[in-house]
Amino acid sequence: MPPAKKPTPRRDGKKPSKLTKKRRRHTLLRVIRKDSTTPAPAVGPGFKGFADFDEATRYLYSRTNVEALNPKKVPAQVWKLDRMEALMEALDNPHRTFRSVHVAGSKGKGSVCEMTSAALVGCGLTTGLYTSPHIGDIRERIRLNGQMISERDFVSLVSEVAVAAESIKRRSGTATFFELMTAAAFVHFAKEAVDVAVIEVGLGGRLDSTNVITPDVCAITSIQLEHTHILGDTLDKIAREKAGIIKPGIPIITIPQQKPMVLEAIKEVAAREGAPIAVVGQTIDFSSRFESTSQLGAHMRVSLSTPRMQFEHVAVPLKGEHQALNCGIALAILDRLKERGVAITERRAAAGLAQTPNPARMELIYSQPRIVVDGAHNPESIHALMKSLGSHIKYDSLIVIFGCAADKDIAGMLSRLGTGADKIIFTKADLNSRAADPRELHRRFTETSGKMSQVAPSLKEAINIAAKAAQRDDLICVTGSFYLAGEAKRLVEARKARDAQVRVVAGANKAPSRR
């Protein structure tokens, strides 16, 4: 366990009790959050752009942010494309200047986007990547060749988009957070003249802000029950909303879905739009296998074959058996892009694929104790995570820190947690207003499981409790939402920074003095 800071003397002059000292020794994280209460800057006559990164982000977060709202409280006027189309027109339609890939789905779409982007970069193509939500820095959402947009460019883009949003406000209404972010990404990709932009759908598909593009390839990953207040209360309704990204004549890639009605719904939309559909593992030759090597450890390998491309025994860069099909979708996307004239080779694509980052996907963020974070946020993802942790990481006991949004399938996720975790600590992310009450999560879990569990009012306290309980070969996993995973990463990075500073100071104190 990393050494804790020296305790601050008490004001009353008394020494800390032994119990207090013990608690401090076992406290892994001490972070003081500073929240800005400065009002959002106004955009109006005489506006010359935002002064800095903080001002630009405050402007964005002052707008309606669906990601942070309970779906039942989202204004109805949010769900339309008219405003986004007007915003694009005001910006001279940047989305029509570059080629793109559009990816929708309930789970796996972020992984598919990351792998597709990495492979395209490996082929020497200037590649844009737009994803959501972000884990630690809002700039993660807009990347060029794998690198986050700079703060300077971010401020400039948000300033430009803000002016355009103000110009359409009277006739189209106030642009949302996600519309502004999407517009900024499209302007950036147009200015950088990307060869291909990989675009992840935010929510749903048909009415998502990203759906103004006409891509070269569409893809739909696994579909599950989610956002039922918005997308529909049945799988086939949700599937049709997701399939709303399908465009006339544009190839669509998907996978065999768990429920036949889902694939049938996607096929029906594809037929209506005259879009050629391919199913990985059915109409596209695909296979996968699990293996373990000294170089890569436990991992999946996949093979995919078409008349144009032959990918043989390619190592899947992301951990988990479920990532095999996601990798298959990414390879099938590359195949369709090559069919449409994009310069892609198997060797370079595979080399690029191997460089895929893994933010909040079984990501190890601390080593003593071992802490991994994962953004799993539905029952199927939790099930895949529990299975993958057991397959890919050796540990004695698994301590899960769990928090999720109140509108998720909580019962389904809790039942999956019980199959893998030895102990669960329920908590919530500080910055997620949609977060479920951890006491309610604990109550519901206790009613159906005999597993050990407790409640922590904050993630910081949950990690400290877990760190105190964890033995040398145990594993701590933070999961349930990307908000929780992102907060865990910020807390741990702050701890690492303090540890580094302590080492620097200690080294300076030990250095011999010069005479």
What are 461-489's pLDDT values in tens digits? 999 999 999 999 999 999 999 999 999 99
Contact between 162 and 87 (Cβ < 8 Å) = no
pLDDT at position 292 is 87
Average of per-residue pLDDT across 230-251: 95
Contact between 426 and 435 (Cβ < 8 Å) = no
pLDDT of 319 above 50:
yes
The CATH number given to 363-501 is 3.90.190.20
pLDDT at position 514 is 55
Burial (0-12, 13-18, 19+ Cβ within 10 Å), 484: buried
Percent of the chain with pLDDT over 70: 91
- What is the rounded distance in angstroms from the CA atom of residue 211 to the CA atom of residue 209? 5
Cross-strand partners of 219: 103, 253
Tell me the torsion sign for CA atoms 232, 238, 242, 247. Answer: negative
Contact between 349 and 241 (Cβ < 8 Å) = no
**Of 390 and 159, more confident:** 159
Mean pLDDT of the chain: 90
Average of per-residue pLDDT across 9-22: 45
Q: Which residues in 352-372 are b (16+ Cβ under 10 Å) and which e?
A: bbeebeebbbbbebbeebbbb
| Angle subtended at Cα 368 by Cα 15 and Cα 395, rounded to the nearest 5 degrees | 130
β pairing state of 370-374 and 99-104 = unpaired
- What is the rounded distance in angstroms from the CA atom of residue 164 to the CA atom of residue 52? 19
pLDDT at position 21 is 41
Contact between 273 and 248 (Cβ < 8 Å) = yes
pLDDT at position 40 is 75
Q: What is the pTM of this model?
A: 0.86
Q: Which two tokens stand for residue 199?
A: 């675009």
**pLDDT tens digits for range 321-379:** 999 999 999 999 999 999 999 999 999 999 999 999 988 889 999 999 999 999 998 89
Average of per-residue pLDDT across 87-99: 98
pLDDT of 35 above 50:
no
Contact between 213 and 95 (Cβ < 8 Å) = yes
Query: Where do you find CATH 3.40.1190.10 in the chain?
Result: 95-148+191-353
pLDDT at position 11 is 42
**pLDDT tens digits for range 94-116:** 999 999 999 999 999 999 999 99
Q: What are phi and psi of 364, to 5 degrees?
A: -80, 120
Asked: is 95-148+191-353 a CATH 3.40.1190.10 domain? The reply is yes
**pLDDT tens digits for range 393-438:** 999 999 999 999 888 889 999 999 988 999 999 999 987 778 999 9
Query: What's the half-sphere exposure (Cβ side, CA atoms, 13 Å) at 490?
Result: 19
Query: Considering only CA atoms, which of 137, 115, 136, 139 is closest in space to residue 127?
Result: 115
pLDDT at position 39 is 77
**pLDDT tens digits for range 155-168:** 999 999 999 999 99
pLDDT at position 33 is 39
pLDDT at position 18 is 44
pLDDT of 77 above 90:
no
List of residues 6+ apart from 32 with CB closer than 8 A: none
Q: Where are the beta strands (DSSP E) in 57-116?
A: 99-104
Cross-strand partners of 340: none
- What is the rounded distance in angstroms from the CA atom of residue 456 to the CA atom of residue 458? 6
Query: Where do you find CATH 3.90.190.20 in the chain?
Result: 363-501
pLDDT of 260 above 50:
yes
3 state SS of 399: strand
| Angle subtended at Cα 440 by Cα 69 and Cα 463, rounded to the nearest 5 degrees | 85
pLDDT of 19 above 60:
no
Q: Which residues in 404-424 are b (16+ Cβ under 10 Å) and which e?
A: bbbbbbbebbbbbbbebbebb
- What is the rounded distance in angstroms from the CA atom of residue 258 to the CA atom of residue 262? 8
Burial (0-12, 13-18, 19+ Cβ within 10 Å), 506: exposed
pLDDT at position 4 is 46
- What is the rounded distance in angstroms from the CA atom of residue 327 to the CA atom of residue 350? 11
Q: Which of 29-33, 48-52, 83-87, 429-433 has the lowest mean pLDDT?
A: 29-33
Cis-peptide, bond into residue 9, ω within 30° of zero: no
pLDDT of 37 above 60:
no
- What is the rounded distance in angstroms from the CA atom of residue 474 to the CA atom of residue 169? 54
